[in-house]
Amino acid sequence: MPDMDTIVSLCKRRGYIFPSSEIYGGYGGFWDYGPLGVELKNNVKRAWWKAVVQERDDVVGQDAAIVMNPEVWRASGHVTEFTDPLVDCKSCKRRFRADDVKGDVCPECGGELTDVRRFNLMFKTFVGPVEDQAAVAYLRPETAQGIFVNFLNVQTAMRKKLPFGIAQIGKAFRNELTPGNFTFRSREFEQMEVEYFVRPGTDEEWHQRWIQDRYDWYIRLGIRAESLRIRPHTKDELAHYARACADVEYNFPMGWAELEGIANRTDFDLRQHSQASGRDLTFYDEETGEHIIPYVIEPSGGVDRAMLTFLLDAYHEEEVRKEKRVVLRLHKDLAPIKVAVLPLLRNRPEIVTLAREITRTLKPHMMAVYDDTGAIGRLYRRQDEVGTPFCVTVDVQSLEDRAVTIRARDFMEQIRVSVAELKDVLLDELS
Ligand code: ATP
């Protein structure tokens, strides 16, 4: 397992993740995704959407607005409950999460601390031209509420019967007191959430099924089982709305920490929104003639945390011919670049032309790049370091036999294939 600094540095060097607004000294808790980062992030989201929406017939997607009617956040309890305990140092004025402070003096300067206060994590803004209390709105701290308020719309439009789910991926914002551990705790991040509506009484069974499904998803995408675990919450850890919760945790460089939470939220949210909005958010069961307020199972994961996990888990250093090789063993579905086409001799125009032509024919089918900015050994190392599963090398012989060499990232084995077959061979390998 690499330490976090190794991954931070690789991400910067290779165009995965940059500090936000870096030329102005960065901005705590905000990150920018570079050319490879955005590809990996899109692939993570695509893999999730495929597993929870495309491949199931009981879950549909949606995409709600980030800024919602502030009534939503009053009804959900976020305005009063979405807080962290905070203490200030009276001497150095530093601010800490109360749970991070051991003892009763400032961990930085030993000064006296204030009493614990509650600090709301929602970012505020104003909607409309007047910046007064009535115009205050919030940037959503989770995507979940955008789903609950659309329960009726989606259920009616899609004629869904219980059990069914609504999935969403989108940005969330939290004014975290102590952002850190790279993107693990950011102030702007993305969530992948499902609200899965079930009949009361079947909730515990569905909860278990979703916990297992979500654990399996990470394993299928290559996370090592010894670094992943399911941790049920103890009663005193449960959020005010939850009946039960289990986290999928990863063994990060700073220790075991939450990657995704899977909560049984009971009928709390639909009940709250029914009461506050005055709208009937029940499900009408035609068979029994009953109106039911469904229970909700919520798998809630972070795109950025998942991405960080995939990067950490994929990172390997090994020795090849007395040289260090860094290789990201990313799952092929996640790798930002699927194939790099490399000319063996970059000063031979016919080789360069053929390599460029091959790249062009591959591009409509997969993320393919052409690179001639170094000697072949160097080009391989660079692709290994960003996790590209295949390199295709065009050499002198290619000009005669119209064949090229495919080199696989993990074991560096090589096969020769004809240019005519190349696309199909690669697509087959990547499928
Ligand atoms: P934590 O205890 O780490 O603050 P949480 O229990 O508040 O997390 P949830 O509200 O359950 O987190 O959010 C669901 C998921 O969203 C988390 O499992 C995580 O992957 C992601 N997430 C939450 N907060 C952040 C953050 N500040 N930065 C990045 N991802 C986050």
pLDDT tens-place string over residues 358-416: 999 999 999 999 999 999 999 999 999 999 999 999 999 999 999 999 999 999 999 99
How far apart, in Å, are the Cα atoms of 372 and each of 63, 323, 342? Answer: 41, 22, 6
The continuous run of DSSP H or E covering 10 comes out as: helix 4-13
Residue type, 420: A
Res. 167 pLDDT band, cuts 50 70 90 = very high
Res. 164 pLDDT band, cuts 50 70 90 = very high
249 lines ligand 1 (CB under 6 A): no
Report the sign of the C-alpha dihedral through residues 243, 198, 43, 68, in that order: negative
Buried b (16+ CB within 10 A) or exposed e, 332-345: bbbbbbbbbbbbbe
Distance between Cα 401 and ligand 1 center (Å): 55
Residue type, 274: S
The per-residue pLDDT for 282 is 95
CA 267 from centre of chain: 27
Burial of 106 from C-beta contacts in 10 A (0-12 / 13-18 / 19+):
buried
Domains 4-67+142-311 and 337-430 share a fold: no
**Reported pTM:** 0.96
What percent of the chain clears pLDDT 90, i.e. is strictly above it? 93
Distance in angstroms (rounded) separating the CA atoms of residues 296 and 204: 10
Res. 99 pLDDT band, cuts 50 70 90 = confident
> Residue 305: which region, alpha, beta or left (left: phi > 0; alpha: psi -120 to 50)?
alpha
88 lines ligand 1 (CB under 6 A): no
186 lines ligand 1 (CB under 6 A): yes
Residue 282 is given by DSSP the state P
Q: What is the pLDDT of residues 47-80, one digit of tens each?
A: 999 999 999 999 999 999 999 999 999 999 999 9
Burial of 123 from C-beta contacts in 10 A (0-12 / 13-18 / 19+):
middle
Distance between Cα 377 and ligand 1 center (Å): 41
78 lines ligand 1 (CB under 6 A): no
Whether the upstream peptide bond of residue 107 has omega within 30° of 0, thus cis, is no
Distance between Cα 412 and ligand 1 center (Å): 38
CATH superfamily of 337-430: Anticodon-binding domain (3.40.50.800)
Closest Cα to atom 2, ligand 1: which residue? 258
> Dihedral angle at the C-alpha atoms of 353, 358, 364, 369, nearest 10 degrees?
-80
Q: Is the pLDDT of residue 1 over 90?
A: no
Which tokens in the block code for residue 306? 């998942």
Distance in angstroms (rounded) separating the CA atoms of residues 144 and 49: 16
CB 370 within 8 A of CB 341: yes
Coil vs helix vs strand at 189: strand
The per-residue pLDDT for 6 is 97
Res. 337 pLDDT band, cuts 50 70 90 = very high
φ, ψ for residue 230, nearest 5 deg: -105, 125
Which tokens in the block code for residue 284? 């009408």
Q: Which of 45, 214, 300, 303 has most ligand 1 atoms within 8 Å of CB, for mutation? A: 300
What percent of the chain clears pLDDT 70, i.e. is strictly above it? 100
The per-residue pLDDT for 288 is 87
2 lines ligand 1 (CB under 6 A): no
Distance in angstroms (rounded) separating the CA atoms of residues 416 and 36: 28
Distance in angstroms (rounded) separating the CA atoms of residues 76 and 245: 18
Q: What is the pLDDT of residues 274-292, one digit of tens each?
A: 999 999 999 998 888 999 9
Q: What is the pLDDT of residues 227-254, one digit of tens each?
A: 999 999 999 888 878 899 999 999 999 9
Q: Which fold has domain 4-67+142-311?
A: BirA Bifunctional Protein; domain 2 (3.30.930)
- Mean pLDDT rounded to a whole number for the chain: 96
How far apart, in Å, are the Cα atoms of 15 and each of 40, 182, 332, 379? Answer: 11, 15, 19, 16
Please name the residues in contact with 73: beta carbons below 8 A apart, sequence gap of 6 or more. 79, 82, 122, 138, 145
How far apart, in Å, are the Cα atoms of 344 and each of 284, 378, 380? Answer: 67, 11, 11
185 lines ligand 1 (CB under 6 A): yes
The per-residue pLDDT for 255 is 97
For the chain, the domains span 4-67+142-311, 337-430
